[in-house]
Amino acid sequence: MARKVGVSEATVSRVLNGKPGVADATRAAVLTALDVLGYERPTQLRGERARLVGLVLPELGNPIFPALAEVVGGALAQQGFTPVLCTRTAGGLSEADYVEMLLEQQVSGVVFAGGHYAEADAPHEHYFRLLELRLPVVLVNAATDRLDFPRVSTDDAVAVEQAFGHLTSLGHERIGLVLGPEDHIPSRRKLAAFTASARKAGIEAGPESVERTLFSPEGGQAVVTRLLKRGITGIICASDPLALGAIRAVRRFGISVPGDVSVVGFDDSAFMNCTNPPLTTVRQPIEAMGRTAVTLLVSQIEGASVTADELLFEPELVVRGSTAPARARSITLVE
């Protein structure tokens, strides 16, 4: 490579090790040669020209992800980095495809949110490649085992405990839980907390109290229909879109929220105070989590050692109009 650029091996070594004493034009020529010849840049030189950071999200339909992007993007800009937003779409680029594109752009690091790292049965090879490359990475919310990246997560157990305690304080004894797919790690944590909370309260909460679906209003509506037929009067949902679907299912049966059935969401995403009724939900501390994620990432980029332990952030129950005291009489469903 030294011959290709027309410099000495000592000069190439100084560039690769980030040493001073090399002209800017020479440094740029050496880095360009690395790219042209297909070599991976050393970690400390990735993104040196553009200071880019990848932000990989699963979607923008759930308002919680644009909210996170705004926080992370603003915090990165304050640190002199430019975020590159990558959003998975049906039939479009996969998460692994985006990782390849980001590596080609020599990004300084990547923040992932709601990605395949939280799904036990999803492909994880691209994460292991990032581990091997030692590229700075931060994950937002729970991950599967073996993905030894720094993580900032909402405490799913506390979220369910808050929602469950709220419903029992209102007199609900038939409480249901709507989760994501079985391999979804945050959903597994919520289920464990739900089972423990029910046992502590002396309330029956067997398999018939739990439904799983995709994270969408349509998924929520479909599975809540089954819960209503089993006499459930209080429903905890693993996302706000699921909760909106739950409300739709209740109305379809000619009963009301919160008069007959109480519904609790999770996220406190945009406009949940403007729904009808305004949604009681458990708020993720997105501002604090996003800024902490950026701090952890920038620390890695600057060569500092950061903890790989998961940092758990406590959520906050926000009580609005979708929950109310349980009715003494039973509910009659009319399809």
Confidence (pLDDT) at 86: 95
Distance between CA atoms of 91 and 94, rounded to whole angstroms? 8
- The answer to whether residues 278 and 306 belong to one domain is no
Distance between CA atoms of 49 and 229, rounded to whole angstroms? 60
Short-list 177, 197, 173, CA closest to 187: 177
- The answer to whether residues 197 and 269 belong to one domain is yes
**DSSP 8-state class, residue 111:** E
- The answer to whether residues 97 and 167 belong to one domain is no
Distance between CA atoms of 142 and 189, rounded to whole angstroms? 9
Residue-level pLDDT, tens digit, the chain, 335 residues: 556 556 677 776 777 777 777 776 676 666 666 655 556 656 555 545 458 999 999 988 899 999 999 999 999 999 999 999 999 876 778 999 999 999 998 899 999 999 999 999 999 999 999 999 999 999 999 999 889 999 999 999 999 999 999 999 999 999 999 999 999 999 999 999 999 999 999 999 999 999 999 999 999 999 999 999 999 999 999 999 999 999 999 999 999 999 999 999 999 999 999 999 999 999 999 999 999 999 999 999 999 989 888 999 999 999 999 999 998 645 555 45
Residue 292 in any domain: the answer is yes
CATH of the domain at 18: 1.10.260.40
* In the block, residue with structure tokens 């157990």: 157
Residue 122, CA atoms < 13 Å, CB-side half-sphere: 22
- The answer to whether residues 130 and 187 belong to one domain is no
Cα 158 from chain centroid (whole Å): 17
Residue 45 in any domain: the answer is no
- The answer to whether residues 189 and 280 belong to one domain is yes
Which amino acid, 257?
V
- The answer to whether residues 108 and 185 belong to one domain is no
**DSSP 8-state class, residue 153:** E
Query: CA angle, 234 as apex, 230 and 236 as ends, to 5°?
Result: 105
Cα 35 from chain centroid (whole Å): 32
Distance between CA atoms of 18 and 303, rounded to whole angstroms? 12
Phi, psi for 81 (deg, rounded to 5): -110, 155
- The answer to whether residues 57 and 22 belong to one domain is no
Task: Give whole-number Cα distances, 250 to 108, 117, 142, 312, 329, in Å.
Answer: 48, 33, 31, 34, 17
- The answer to whether residues 264 and 291 belong to one domain is no
Torsion sign over Cα 318, 320, 325, 331: negative
Short-list 43, 13, 47, CA closest to 27: 13
Residue 326 in any domain: the answer is no
Which amino acid, 144?
T
Residues 6+ apart with CB under 8 A from 286: 64, 67, 68, 71
CATH of the domain at 141: 3.40.50.2300
Residue 301 in any domain: the answer is yes
Instruction: Tell me how many domains the chain contains.
Output: 3
For 131, the domain range is 52-154+285-314
Q: Which two tokens stand for residue 49?
A: 């020209």
- The answer to whether residues 191 and 247 belong to one domain is yes
